Amino acid sequence: MTSQQPTLAEVAQLAGVSTGTVSRVINNAPNVGDKSRKAVEAAVRKLGYVPNLAARSLATQRSGAVVLAISSDDPALFVNQFFAEIITGVNAVIEESDLELILIMAASARGRARLTRVLHARGAAGVMLLALHENDPLVQTAERGGVPVVYGGRPYGDQPPRYYVDADNRGGARQAVEHLIATGRSRIATITGPQDQHAGVARYLGWREALALARLDDHRVAHGDFSEASGAAAMRRLLDEHPDLDAVAVASDAMAAGALGVLAERGLAVPEQVAVVGFNDIINAQLVRPALTTVHQPIVALGREMTRMLLAVIRGEEPTPLILPTQMVIRESA
């Protein structure tokens, strides 16, 4: 016996109508034809469909909640500017509804158990997932919750999820390298993000593609974890192993800040001797010295759009995945 509940989409398929029509029938909206209403009601009875109470709360303006679950237990996350901007975007949309936002740190088994309790016991309307790793158990926990799931950033793997919002990580990394090449750099290293996360892999591939198109070497590589400390450690490795490098494309602004500190320690002038490009365009990119040339991704917009997508799915709509554009921001470091 399966515990999987019939979905709104299955009701729509059986009734031969759109999911939006099913949602309107369930919420007693007046603008539905009698034929469609009867078809939906028959499909509901046949499938034993139980409406999501949280979805009804959206339609009827009663209170409810959505969950933002982050696959991290690092307390430093709360001072991480990337996540701060994501939450700002999420909250901006939540404030326009009568829903509440529940934040769950869910990298551990205990955190995932808490997510399960929130989804089942408190009747949360849906869940948004962030910072997923390869084979992340958080995915299975969320998908088993019986509520809509939207991904902030495409998760690692070949099969994309049904609903996600991401930035053009691969294209942005290509832009960064193309800018470095255009300014005369040819020995271009990279500090990657985690290679078990889609963003880290995509930015690494974008770096490699740009170098391949320009027929330049792609062996100057060091790996980081998006943190400033890992960027500093990676920059030291690169300088020790490849002292001839003349530029470095870094997969996050935090790591780029760490790299700039090491270059200053070694007495290397930026950008005269080594040019540096970051990724994200967080506030600190303007504050480091020299000010950081970086790839801007619309982080606040990412938070807004993933929340809007989740609310659309809760209402019974079928939004398509969204890839937000990136663009170069030229400052002093490259």
> Could you read off the pLDDT of 247-283 as tens digits, one per residue?
999 999 999 999 999 999 999 999 999 999 999 999 9
Instruction: Please answer whether residues 117 and 110 qualify as being in contact, where contact means their C-beta atoms are separated by less than 8 angstroms.
Output: no
Half-sphere exposure of 198 (CA within 13 A, CB side): 22
Instruction: Please answer whether residues 66 and 102 qualify as being in contact, where contact means their C-beta atoms are separated by less than 8 angstroms.
Output: yes
Residue 120 has a pLDDT of 79
Q: Is 24 exposed, middle or buried (0-12, 13-18, 19+ CB in 10 A)?
A: buried
pLDDT in single tens digits along all 334 residues of the chain: 344 667 777 888 899 987 767 767 776 655 678 888 889 889 888 888 766 555 555 444 434 789 999 998 877 777 788 999 999 999 999 988 878 899 999 999 999 999 988 887 766 889 999 999 889 999 999 988 888 999 999 888 778 899 999 999 999 999 999 999 999 999 999 999 999 999 999 999 999 999 999 999 999 999 999 999 999 999 999 999 999 999 999 999 999 999 999 999 999 999 999 999 999 999 999 999 999 999 999 999 999 999 999 999 988 888 999 999 999 999 999 9
Residue type, 179: H
Residues of the chain with CATH 3.40.50.2300: 63-166+300-324, 169-296
Contacts of 280 (CB under 8 A, 6+ apart): 82, 252, 253, 254, 294, 295, 296, 297, 299
The CATH number given to 169-296 is 3.40.50.2300
The CATH number given to 8-51 is 1.10.260.40
pTM: 0.80
The CATH number given to 63-166+300-324 is 3.40.50.2300
Contacts of 55 (CB under 8 A, 6+ apart): 8, 23, 26, 125, 314, 315, 316
Q: What distance, in Å, lies between the first and last C-alpha atoms of the chain?
A: 61
Instruction: Please answer whether residues 253 and 294 qualify as being in contact, where contact means their C-beta atoms are separated by less than 8 angstroms.
Output: yes
